[in-house]
Amino acid sequence: MNDPDSEADGLMKEFRAGADAAGVRLDQWLAAELGPDFSRNRVQALIRQGAVAVNSGAVTETKRKLAEGDLVTVAMPEPEPAEPLGENIPLDILYEDDQLIVINKPAGLVVHPGAGNWTGTLVNALIHHCGDSLSGIGGVKRPGIVHRLDKDTSGVMVVAKTDRAHKALSEAFADHGREGDLERAYVALVWNIPPRMTGTIDAPLGRAADRVRRAVVPETRDDARHAITHYTVLERYGQGQKQAAEAALMECRLETGRTHQIRVHLAHIGHPVIGDPDYGTAFRTKSNRLPEPLRAKVQALPRQALHARLLAFRHPDTHMTMRFEAPLPADMAEIVEDFRRL
């Protein structure tokens, strides 16, 4: 049990194991003692990092069994800041007024602070850039994220600066444009050439086994979410060439907006996005059939070749339809140009 009189100053905590702890795993017992703010996974990480000691001896084995009277010491981690701080991170701004800001997000930039990414995010950059022009989202001066792009997906994003804009844009994205002027188009460079120039992928998505990725799942599953993607083949590469891997440039338009939707749907029909580290690994060796220097460029691509090319929406104040486009970033444009030479 917790011995409150033995808690050390600062970030050190001590716990004394009672009779009920005898024979219990260290990670299981400590997670219960630390309370709901510490998941078992987080406790296991602390143990493996050497932050936990039993009877003054460091322990890194999570399955260590306790004995009655054991003194468990934990070097508590510094708490993360409750609110993200502004950081001077360059932004490619396409438009800005007192209600919203539209940016061309580069690949590699995380949108929102979270586990493992508390700094260096788009939100940190916007807090610094917008400053006092943020009138507040929910009473706090922070940018209102109404939609997201994956860390390694580039392209157009809109962010609200006021509660009014946040509410209007959130409703538009939740409705997926059925009642308004919302339009989203992505460009994806994929393996293989689809047999049809246009098509619709209607397949529900849910959590995969690792709970981070998504997968096409039966619609009867509890976590199944309706997901529809419409696609058009823009260009085809290597068709009929035995010595070259086939690929295609596709435009995808979302009817729904699920996590990783385009990436999962394209992989599901056999056309994973080139460079996708989560859903395209089974096709990684196809790059071996490409000529140089294209082969080296594809193999060196550090992210999925997916770009949010177009975003159109109704302005929450003027009610005018605004339309923004961002050209392919240099890494994708260079590879596409080399594919065209096939």
Catalytic residue among 27, 70, 150, 152: 150
What is the rounded distance in angstroms from the CA atom of residue 265 to the CA atom of residue 228?
A: 9
What is the rounded distance in angstroms from the CA atom of residue 100 to the CA atom of residue 166?
A: 9
What are the angstrom distances between the C-alpha of 168 and each of 182, 268, 313?
11, 33, 10
Contact (CB, 8 A) for 71 and 56: yes
Burial class (CB in 10 A: 0-12, 13-18, 19+), 298: buried
Give one DSSP letter per residue of 263-329, joined into a string.
Answer: HHHHHHTT-PBTT-TTT-GGGGGGGGGSPTTHHHHHHH--S--EEEEEEEEE-TTT--EEEEE-PPP
Q: What's phi and psi for 340, nearest 5 deg? A: -60, -30
What is the rounded distance in angstroms from the CA atom of residue 305 to the CA atom of residue 248?
A: 11
Query: SS3 of 201, please?
Result: strand
| Burial 213-238, CB ≥16 within 10 A → b, else e | ebbbbeeeeeebbebbbebebeebbb
The yes-or-no answer on residue 150 being catalytic is yes
The closest of 25, 9, 6, 24 to 63, measured between CA atoms, is: 25
**Catalytic amino acids?**
150
